[in-house]
Each structure stands twice: as structure tokens, then as C-alpha cells.
A and B are shown apart, each in its own frame.
Chain A
Amino acid sequence: MAEFINFYLIPGLVLGSIYALGAIGITMTFGILRFANFAHGETMTLGVYIAWTLVQLTGFKSMLAILLVLTPISMMLTIMVVLLIDRAFYKPLRASPVIILVIASFGLMLMIRSVTQFSWGVQLKTILPGIQPRMQLFDFFSFPLKHVFIVGGALLLMYVVHYVLTYTKIGKAMRATSDSPELARLTGINTEKVVMATWVMGAGLACAAGVFLAVDTQVDTMMGFKILLPMFAAAILGGVGKPYGAMAGGVVIGVAEELSSYHWIGDGPLLDPGYKQGIAFAIMIAILVWRPTGLFKGKSF
């Protein structure tokens, strides 16, 4: 039991929180700008490298300083970069067919990755060096302290998203636009402002998710791309355009990936950990076949 929780459930929740934060941006971009943003993973990577650079510059070594001080700053810097990217690349294409935007985002994905690799190099880095303290609960639960911060941070950010979407004018306008962009326009909603808010939310959360992943594992120029698929799967599982769906979908996929290698039957893992990523694929396909609108009745295409 303790083993199940310490080595499968908690890592699953950590991974799930990271997926959830990333998937919110994907699902909102899909809902409001109407395209699958392939560059979302690279936004995440870029955010991580910005954070890593800040760590080197400031010399902060403690997890708290990194998460509470440097992460918000990196989020803001990432948001600025993404808003500039929107200005330069997506804005001129606003009225274009969806496929053009998708291809543009694919191009941006390659561009951002190359710039990252060129500027910072491709060797692995760590953002939080050294052995991290563990937390002990009731003798048998034991997990790295950083996991508490990651899940806590993700919950806090999800609450902020919930607050913005439920109680602010721009948040309600975002949901309205995601429901029906055409009616939003007829209603007089400032769609450019909504688009900017979407990028701000997506980029900020992507950066946070990336830093959480980097704190948990390491810094790698391919890290965002590697989790792009599970994030898409989370967005689809939750229902495209539904931020709460993305949160739920992210957690489900993260936990399912980790639990897939638990020794449910016999001694060996049910599924070799190497195939973990396949779980996201399998869930995504199953959802697309049996319930294309996802858990939260999103859009189907």
C-alpha cells in the first residue's frame, strides 16, 4: 500500500499536475483561437530555460526561492515572448484557415526549439541540484518535498485560473468566445483582448508546468516536445475548449501513466515503464473513438 502511494500514486499526481497546467493552455488556444498549438511544448521549454538562466544569474539554490521568486518572473518573461510571437506570427494570420495556423505553430515549434538549442546548448542541465529532502508521514508515506510544492503550486495556479474564468469580465469573455467566437463578435466582445488573455494564461501556465517538470527531473531542450502528446491527450480527454476538463484530463493521464507500471498482476510491472507514454496515446484514441467530446462535453471535430 505504502509502496503504491509513494512510488506510483504520488509521482502520478505530480506528473498529472504538470500535464494539467500545460493542457489548460492547449485547450484554451484550441477553444478561442481555433487551432492546435504545436508550439505549446516549446513555450514550456523556453520558460524553463529562462528560469534556468535566472537561477544561474541570481545564484538562488533553494527550492522555495526558485518556485516562489524566480518562477513568477520567468512566467512573466515567457508571457512577454509569447505575446511578441503572437504579434509577429499569428496576428497576421488571424483570419486564415485553421490549417495555416496549425502549420505556422508547427514552424514556430521548430524555430523556438532551434533558438533554444542554439542559445543554451543541447546538454542536459539541472535547475535544482543536489539531493532533495524527503517528507515522512505516518512512518510509511515518504516522498520528496518538492512533490508537495509541485502539486501545491499547480493547485494554486488552477485556482487562479478558476477565479479568473468565473469572476472576472475578461475570464467570462474568454469562456464566451470559446463557446461561440461568432456570437462573441456579434455581442461586441473585444476578441483581440480575449486572444491576448488566452496567450497570457497559456504561456504563464506552460512556463510554470515546465519549471515544475524541470525541478522534478532535469532541463532538456526536448522536454516540452516530449510531453506535448500527453498534454494534447489531456485536453482531448477533458473536452476541447474546456479548461476544467483539461485539469481533470491531465491528472487522469498522469496518474494512469504512472499506475500502468505497477505490478497489478504477478511480480513484474503491468506495462514496462518504457511504454508509459503509450498510455496517453491509448487514452486519446479511445476517447476519440467512443466519446469525441471528452469528459466535459467539449467541441468535437
Chain B
Amino acid sequence: MRVLELDKVVGGYGDTQILHGVSMHVDTGEIVVIIGPNGAGKSTAMKAVFGLLKLTDGAVLLDGQAITNTPPEQVVRHGVCYVPQTGNIFPSLTVEENLEMGAYVRTDDFRPRLNEIYEMFPPLREKRLQPAGTLSGGQRQMVAMGKALMLEPKILLLDEPTAGLSPKFRGEIFETVKKINSAGTPILMVEQNAKQALGIADRGYVLVDGKNRFEGTGQDLLDDREVAEMFLGGGKQSEQPPAKSRKPAAKKQPRKSRKT
């Protein structure tokens, strides 16, 4: 079943158009990863779901219902949770207060859910009375994700959850993402560490210049020579694709199978 769908969305900030018709979807139980060079519009595509920028064309569908250009505070109430890349916790609030704030829009008793989150992230239970700002980077990400999960969202959006973390923590975060997903929450994630991210992803999208470039299963993209050259080669993520790889791109374009 289709949980979230972006249908040829066009938009940007002010007069700067960043997305030129991006389409993607997330089905029940999936982990979907968006990769691409810097400035490709990866995070922007995600923010488009959350109503953080003005879409001039296209549609965002949640469970088949249009939520295009719904303001963030309403999107949350529809069951979409978004964890931004930075500033995703309330530093002066304790860990537990952060989680409670995650449940702000819930009107029922969130205690059982709080317990489930602590089961999922045992270190958070230990540090529940500490200000979240005093935690390590990896644990802060746990707080941020736990906070988002308090709502038992229909889908979780993660914007570069491993940015700025050491390789050890990165692995931990990817494990956590898998764990959250296996507990039943579909995930749409933007990642710079494309290799690791595609490794845990069901499907992936490659965005370039605000357009879909490739899509396929995580394994397909990992095996694809061109994708590998463009994004998976060590430290080349931010470079423009070299000229020689442009030719096969034209050949491979038709391979793009949109199953809509």
C-alpha cells in the first residue's frame, strides 16, 4: 500500500525553484533513501512533504489524500513526523520532556508508548532526567527519533540522520533506523553516506538538479556502475558527474522503471 507519494512536485523558496518535478513514493513497511549530489534538492524534496516550502505544481499524497502545501503543524496531526538534520531536539529540556513534547498532539495516554521508546533506546531511559543538550551526538539522534516516534507516525522522515557523526555512531544510527522500520514504521530518509544507506534501504532515488535521475532497489543502485561512480566513490559525493559517465546515462534513462 502506498503511504506517501510525491507526484511531480515543483517548488522552492521564494523565487528560487529547486524541485523541477520530483516524483517518489513510499510503501508500507519500506525504507526509502534519497541520495544525490549537494544541492540536488534531497532535503528540499523532504521538506516539500512537510509543508516547509511552497509547491507551485504537483501533489503530495498521504494515504491517497492530498496534503499539498499543508502547514507543518497540521502535517504532524496527519501522522507524518519529520526529524530535521540539525536542531532536532530541545536542548534545555530533559530527555523525557523531549519525548513528551513529541506526544504533544496526542490526547490519549502516551505513557505506554514512552515505555516502548525506552525499550527501543535503552540509553535514553538511563539519561531520561538529563537535559537532552548534554547527550552525545548519537544519543541526541536517538532522542530526536524517539521524539518523532512518540506519535506512532504513519511515516517517519529523516533528514541526514548521520550527518556529523563518527563512523561508529553512523553504524548505530543505521541499525536504529532498521529497528524502527522493522517495528512497522515506513521511513523516507535523505543520506550523504549513500553506500551504507542503500545497504539498508528497500528502494532508493537518486536526485540530480531537482529531478529524478535513477531509481531502483537499494541493491540495484549499489550495483549500478554509474551511480557508483557518481555517488558511492569515496569523497566524490559533492562532485559533478564526470563527462564520460553522461553518455551511459542517456542509455540508462529508459531503464528507470516507475511502477506507478
| Partner-B contacts on A (CB < 8 A) | 169, 172-173, 175-176, 178-180, 182-191, 242
Q: Are A185 and B93 in contact (CB under 8 A)?
A: no
User: Can you list the 7 inter-chain pairs with the closest CB atoms, starting with the nearest?
Assistant: A188-B76, A188-B105, A179-B90, A176-B90, A176-B101, A189-B104, A179-B92
Sample of 9 A–B contacts (CB below 8 Å): A173-B101, A176-B90, A179-B90, A185-B72, A186-B72, A187-B102, A188-B73, A189-B101, A190-B104
> Does B42 count as interface, using CB distance less than 8 angstroms?
no
| CA A230 to CA B71, docked complex, whole Å | 40
The smallest beta-carbon distance between B235 and chain A, in angstroms, is: 31
The smallest beta-carbon distance between B222 and chain A, in angstroms, is: 32
> Does B91 count as interface, using CB distance less than 8 angstroms?
yes
| Residues of B close to A172: CB separation below 8 A | 93, 97, 100-101
Q: Which residue of A lies closest to B52 (CB)?
A: A186
**Binary CB contact string for chain B from 80 to 117 against chain A (1 if under 8 A, 0 otherwise):** 00101001111111000100111011000000000000
> Does B147 count as interface, using CB distance less than 8 angstroms?
yes
| Residues of A close to B72: CB separation below 8 A | 185-186, 188
Q: Are B50 and A186 in contact (CB under 8 A)?
A: yes
The smallest beta-carbon distance between A295 and chain B, in angstroms, is: 14
> Does B258 count as interface, using CB distance less than 8 angstroms?
no
Q: Are B82 and A176 in contact (CB under 8 A)?
A: no
| Residues of A close to B255: CB separation below 8 A | none
Q: Which residue of B lies closest to A242 (CB)?
A: B92
Give the contact-size bracket for chain B. 20 to 34
| CA A186 to CA B84, docked complex, whole Å | 9
| CA A285 to CA B151, docked complex, whole Å | 45
Mostly helix, strand, loop or mixed at chain B's interface? loop
Q: Are B73 and A185 in contact (CB under 8 A)?
A: yes
Mostly helix, strand, loop or mixed at chain A's interface? helix
Q: Which residue of B lies closest to A191 (CB)?
A: B73
Q: How many A-B residue pairs have CB under 8 A?
A: 58
| CA A183 to CA B76, docked complex, whole Å | 12
The smallest beta-carbon distance between B106 and chain A, in angstroms, is: 9
Given contacts A175-B92, A188-B105, A189-B101, 15 further A-B contacts (CB under 8 A): A169-B104, A173-B101, A176-B97, A179-B91, A179-B92, A182-B87, A183-B88, A183-B90, A185-B73, A186-B50, A186-B72, A186-B84, A187-B104, A190-B104, A191-B73
Q: Are B87 and A183 in contact (CB under 8 A)?
A: yes
| CA A176 to CA B151, docked complex, whole Å | 17
Which residues in chain B, 125-164, are within 8 Å of chain A measured between CB atoms?
Answer: 147, 151
| CA A179 to CA B76, docked complex, whole Å | 19
The smallest beta-carbon distance between A252 and chain B, in angstroms, is: 21
| From A169, A172, A185, A187, residue with most partner B Cβ within 10 Å | A187
Q: Are B84 and A187 in contact (CB under 8 A)?
A: no
| Residues of A close to B104: CB separation below 8 A | 169, 173, 187-190
**Which of A169, A175, A191, A242 meets B93, CB within 8 Å?**
A175
| Residues of A close to B91: CB separation below 8 A | 179-180
Q: Which residue of A lies closest to B132 (CB)?
A: A179
Q: Are A187 and B147 in contact (CB under 8 A)?
A: yes
Q: Are B90 and A188 in contact (CB under 8 A)?
A: no
The smallest beta-carbon distance between A91 and chain B, in angstroms, is: 16
| Contact A179/B73 with A186-B50, A188-B104 known, Cβ cut-off 8 Å | no
Q: Are A186 and B97 in contact (CB under 8 A)?
A: no
Q: Which residue of A lies closest to B91 (CB)?
A: A179
| CA A187 to CA B50, docked complex, whole Å | 11
The smallest beta-carbon distance between B146 and chain A, in angstroms, is: 12
Q: Are B101 and A187 in contact (CB under 8 A)?
A: yes
| Contact A190/B73 with A179-B92, A180-B87 known, Cβ cut-off 8 Å | yes
